[in-house]
Amino acid sequence: MIEQLFGSKTRVKLLQLFYSNPNRSFYVREITRKIDEQINSVRRELSNLLSIGIITSDNTNNKLYYEVNQKYKYYEPLHQIFGGGVRKIASKKDGVTPDEQQAEAESDLKAVGHIDLAVYTGQFTRDETAGIDFLVVGDVNPNALQKYVDALETRENKTIRYTTMSLPDFLYRQQIRDRFATAIAQSKKQVLVDLHNLLTELAVENEE
């Protein structure tokens, strides 16, 4: 039904990928691998989404990157549908949907420990402001976190630079306007967890 409404299976998978990952950028072959569709089909649907204004593109280091356009006038309703509101839209060949993969990743993150804040930045969003790719704040198990990062590196086919710290440490850095905490607030990022609205508070402070 959803595929009929939105035109094609590939288009639905793309919408689900982009709206589930705001602020993240993907290049064509990375997209093809993640949604498990033919590259010609992916290129055609990317062109369609670009022409509508649903996504934007940008060339960096001779690679064309795509990401969801959060200024698109129908961003919010589409995000409600494809950012988590619709489950099991398009099946992968191995029987696992992109949405189920995301749910599994979130479950694995919970297994790391009590997470107060977790964000992707750096390579994920093409913004080196913070100098890292992954930040985890909370009471974590170092071995479990390393296992999570190893799996993340395999899934993303990237070497991930990550930092972890306790909530009191991060709050102190926030209080003194530490350079790292400020850089995190200013960086382009995908927020996975923010239990205490830490990033919102940092952004407000930086505007003062």
How does pLDDT run across 37-89, given as a tens digit for each residue? Answer: 999 999 999 999 999 999 999 998 888 999 999 999 999 999 998 986 434 44
Lowest mean pLDDT among 93-97, 136-140, 141-145: 93-97
Sequence-ordered alpha helix ranges (H) in the chain: 2-6, 9-20, 28-35, 39-52, 75-82, 98-110, 142-156, 167-175, 179-186, 198-207
How does pLDDT run across 109-139, given as a tens digit for each residue? Answer: 888 999 999 999 999 999 999 999 999 999 9
Distance, in Å, from the CA atom of 170 to the CA atom of 166, rounded to the nearest integer, reads 6
First to last CA, the chain: 48
Q: With cut-offs at 50, 70 and 90, classify the pLDDT of residue 151.
A: very high
- pLDDT for 47 equals 96
Instruction: Give the predicted TM-score (pTM) of the model.
Output: 0.77
How does pLDDT run across 1-20, given as a tens digit for each residue? Answer: 455 456 789 999 999 999 99
- pLDDT for 180 equals 94
Q: Is the pLDDT of residue 100 over 90?
A: no
Distance, in Å, from the CA atom of 91 to the CA atom of 189, rounded to the nearest integer, reads 28
Which residue type sits at 207?
E
Mean pLDDT for the chain overall: 85
Mean pLDDT of 153-165: 94
Burial bucket for residue 124 (CB in 10 Å: 0-12, 13-18, 19+)? buried
Kindly report, as residue ranges, where domains of CATH 1.10.10.10 are found in the chain: 2-85
CATH number of 2-85: 1.10.10.10
